[in-house]
Protein backbone atom coordinates (compact mmCIF):
# COMPACT_ATOMS: atom_id res chain seq x y z
CA UNK A 1 0.00 0.00 0.00
CA UNK A 2 2.81 2.40 0.86
CA UNK A 3 4.62 1.72 -2.43
CA UNK A 4 1.35 2.29 -4.33
CA UNK A 5 0.83 5.55 -2.41
CA UNK A 6 4.33 6.78 -3.23
CA UNK A 7 3.83 6.06 -6.95
CA UNK A 8 0.34 7.62 -6.97
CA UNK A 9 1.46 10.59 -4.82
CA UNK A 10 4.47 11.61 -6.93
CA UNK A 11 2.65 10.87 -10.20
CA UNK A 12 -0.48 12.91 -9.36
CA UNK A 13 1.42 15.92 -7.96
CA UNK A 14 3.65 15.82 -11.05
CA UNK A 15 0.55 16.03 -13.28
CA UNK A 16 -0.99 18.72 -11.06
CA UNK A 17 2.28 20.69 -11.28
CA UNK A 18 2.07 20.47 -15.08
CA UNK A 19 -1.56 21.73 -14.80
CA UNK A 20 -2.94 18.48 -16.24
CA UNK A 21 -6.32 18.40 -14.53
CA UNK A 22 -7.96 15.58 -16.47
CA UNK A 23 -9.74 12.36 -15.51
CA UNK A 24 -6.51 10.44 -14.97
CA UNK A 25 -5.21 13.02 -12.47
CA UNK A 26 -8.51 12.98 -10.57
CA UNK A 27 -8.49 9.17 -10.50
CA UNK A 28 -4.93 9.14 -9.13
CA UNK A 29 -5.92 11.60 -6.38
CA UNK A 30 -9.06 9.57 -5.56
CA UNK A 31 -7.16 6.28 -5.18
CA UNK A 32 -4.36 8.00 -3.24
CA UNK A 33 -6.80 9.44 -0.71
CA UNK A 34 -8.72 6.16 -0.29
CA UNK A 35 -5.66 3.90 0.04
CA UNK A 36 -3.95 6.48 2.30
CA UNK A 37 -6.98 6.53 4.60
CA UNK A 38 -6.97 2.71 4.69
CA UNK A 39 -3.28 2.80 5.70
CA UNK A 40 -4.27 4.90 8.71
CA UNK A 41 -6.93 2.33 9.70
CA UNK A 42 -4.60 -0.64 9.13
CA UNK A 43 -1.82 1.08 11.12
CA UNK A 44 -4.23 1.69 14.02
CA UNK A 45 -5.19 -2.01 13.95
CA UNK A 46 -1.54 -3.03 13.76
CA UNK A 47 -0.68 -0.89 16.80
CA UNK A 48 -3.50 -2.54 18.81
CA UNK A 49 -2.29 -6.03 17.76
CA UNK A 50 1.26 -5.05 18.68
CA UNK A 51 0.26 -3.78 22.11
CA UNK A 52 -1.69 -6.98 22.81
CA UNK A 53 1.13 -9.34 21.82
CA UNK A 54 4.58 -9.97 23.20
CA UNK A 55 7.33 -9.26 20.67
CA UNK A 56 9.58 -12.24 19.74
CA UNK A 57 12.93 -12.35 21.56
CA UNK A 58 16.11 -11.18 19.84
CA UNK A 59 18.94 -13.71 19.42
CA UNK A 60 21.44 -13.45 22.32
CA UNK A 61 24.17 -12.27 19.89
CA UNK A 62 22.38 -8.90 19.54
CA UNK A 63 23.68 -6.14 21.86
CA UNK A 64 21.44 -3.87 23.96
CA UNK A 65 22.63 -0.90 21.87
CA UNK A 66 21.51 -2.58 18.64
CA UNK A 67 18.13 -3.43 20.18
CA UNK A 68 17.70 0.19 21.33
CA UNK A 69 18.58 1.46 17.85
CA UNK A 70 16.07 -0.96 16.32
CA UNK A 71 13.40 0.32 18.72
CA UNK A 72 14.11 3.95 17.78
CA UNK A 73 13.83 3.17 14.05
CA UNK A 74 10.70 1.05 14.50
CA UNK A 75 9.01 3.65 16.74
CA UNK A 76 9.82 6.36 14.19
CA UNK A 77 8.28 4.21 11.48
CA UNK A 78 5.05 3.69 13.47
CA UNK A 79 4.87 7.40 14.31
CA UNK A 80 5.29 8.35 10.64
CA UNK A 81 2.76 5.70 9.53
CA UNK A 82 0.25 7.62 11.67
CA UNK A 83 1.40 11.20 10.99
CA UNK A 84 1.79 10.92 7.18
CA UNK A 85 -1.83 9.85 6.49
CA UNK A 86 -3.12 12.11 9.30
CA UNK A 87 -1.61 15.21 7.64
CA UNK A 88 -2.93 14.09 4.22
CA UNK A 89 -6.40 13.64 5.72
CA UNK A 90 -6.16 16.99 7.56
CA UNK A 91 -5.17 18.63 4.23
CA UNK A 92 -8.14 17.26 2.29
CA UNK A 93 -10.43 18.20 5.20
CA UNK A 94 -9.18 21.80 5.16
CA UNK A 95 -9.24 22.15 1.35
CA UNK A 96 -11.98 20.55 1.35
CA UNK A 97 -11.54 17.64 -1.11
CA UNK A 98 -12.86 14.57 0.65
CA UNK A 99 -14.26 12.80 -2.42
CA UNK A 100 -12.51 9.54 -3.41
CA UNK A 101 -13.09 6.51 -5.65
CA UNK A 102 -16.65 6.04 -6.95
CA UNK A 103 -17.85 9.25 -5.27
CA UNK A 104 -17.15 7.84 -1.78
CA UNK A 105 -16.53 10.69 0.68
CA UNK A 106 -14.04 10.37 3.53
CA UNK A 107 -15.25 11.75 6.86
CA UNK A 108 -13.82 15.18 7.74
CA UNK A 109 -11.04 15.07 10.34
CA UNK A 110 -12.67 16.60 13.43
CA UNK A 111 -11.25 19.94 14.57
CA UNK A 112 -9.68 20.95 11.25
CA UNK A 113 -11.00 24.33 9.97
CA UNK A 114 -11.58 24.94 6.25
CA UNK A 115 -9.19 27.11 4.24
CA UNK A 116 -6.99 26.64 1.17
CA UNK A 117 -3.84 28.29 2.64
CA UNK A 118 -4.07 25.97 5.67
CA UNK A 119 -4.58 22.97 3.35
CA UNK A 120 -1.43 23.92 1.39
CA UNK A 121 0.61 24.10 4.61
CA UNK A 122 -0.73 20.72 5.73
CA UNK A 123 0.14 19.17 2.32
CA UNK A 124 3.64 20.64 2.56
CA UNK A 125 4.14 18.98 5.96
CA UNK A 126 2.60 15.77 4.50
CA UNK A 127 5.26 15.85 1.76
CA UNK A 128 8.17 16.35 4.22
CA UNK A 129 6.89 13.57 6.49
CA UNK A 130 6.71 11.26 3.44
CA UNK A 131 10.42 11.90 2.80
CA UNK A 132 11.18 11.07 6.46
CA UNK A 133 9.11 7.86 6.14
CA UNK A 134 11.04 6.84 3.02
CA UNK A 135 14.37 7.44 4.84
CA UNK A 136 13.33 5.47 7.94
CA UNK A 137 11.86 2.62 5.83
CA UNK A 138 15.10 2.36 3.82
CA UNK A 139 17.12 2.21 7.07
CA UNK A 140 14.75 -0.49 8.42
CA UNK A 141 14.79 -2.59 5.23
CA UNK A 142 18.58 -2.20 4.94
CA UNK A 143 19.08 -3.38 8.53
CA UNK A 144 16.74 -6.34 7.97
CA UNK A 145 18.54 -7.44 4.80
CA UNK A 146 21.90 -6.98 6.53
CA UNK A 147 20.81 -9.52 9.13
CA UNK A 148 19.43 -11.87 6.45
CA UNK A 149 22.29 -11.83 3.95
CA UNK A 150 25.42 -10.59 5.74
CA UNK A 151 25.15 -11.39 9.45
CA UNK A 152 23.00 -14.46 8.75
CA UNK A 153 21.55 -14.48 12.30
CA UNK A 154 17.92 -15.09 13.33
CA UNK A 155 16.83 -11.44 13.46
CA UNK A 156 15.08 -11.53 10.09
CA UNK A 157 13.02 -14.54 11.21
CA UNK A 158 11.37 -12.30 13.84
CA UNK A 159 9.61 -10.34 11.10
CA UNK A 160 9.08 -13.06 8.49
CA UNK A 161 6.68 -16.01 8.29
CA UNK A 162 7.76 -18.93 10.46
CA UNK A 163 9.32 -21.71 8.38
CA UNK A 164 7.71 -25.07 8.92
Q: Which residues bind ligand HEM (CB under 6 A)?
A: 2, 5-6, 9-10, 13, 16, 32-33, 36-37, 39-40, 84-85, 88-89, 91-92, 106, 123, 126-127, 130
3-state SS string over 26-54? HHHHHHHHHHHHHHHHHHHHHHHHHHHCC
User: Measured from the CB atom, is 46 or 152 closer to ligand HEM?
Assistant: 46
C-beta separation of 142 from 77 below 8 A: no
Supply angle C-alpha 48, 51, 137, rounded to 5.
80
| Distance of closest approach, residue 22 Cβ to ligand HEM, in angstroms | 15
| Distance of closest approach, residue 72 Cβ to ligand HEM, in angstroms | 20
User: Measured from the CB atom, is 2 or 62 closer to ligand HEM?
Assistant: 2
| Distance of closest approach, residue 148 Cβ to ligand HEM, in angstroms | 25
- The values of phi and psi at residue 105, to 5°, are -95, 135
User: Measured from the CB atom, is 33 or 147 closer to ligand HEM?
Assistant: 33
User: Measured from the CB atom, is 6 or 148 closer to ligand HEM?
Assistant: 6
| Distance of closest approach, residue 146 Cβ to ligand HEM, in angstroms | 24
Cβ count near 110 (within 10 Å): 6
C-beta separation of 105 from 99 below 8 A: yes
Amino acid sequence: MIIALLVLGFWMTDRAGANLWDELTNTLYSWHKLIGFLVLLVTAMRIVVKLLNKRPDYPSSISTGQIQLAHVVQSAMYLLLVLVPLFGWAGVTAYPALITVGGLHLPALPGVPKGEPLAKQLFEIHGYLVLALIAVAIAHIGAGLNHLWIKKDQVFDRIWFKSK
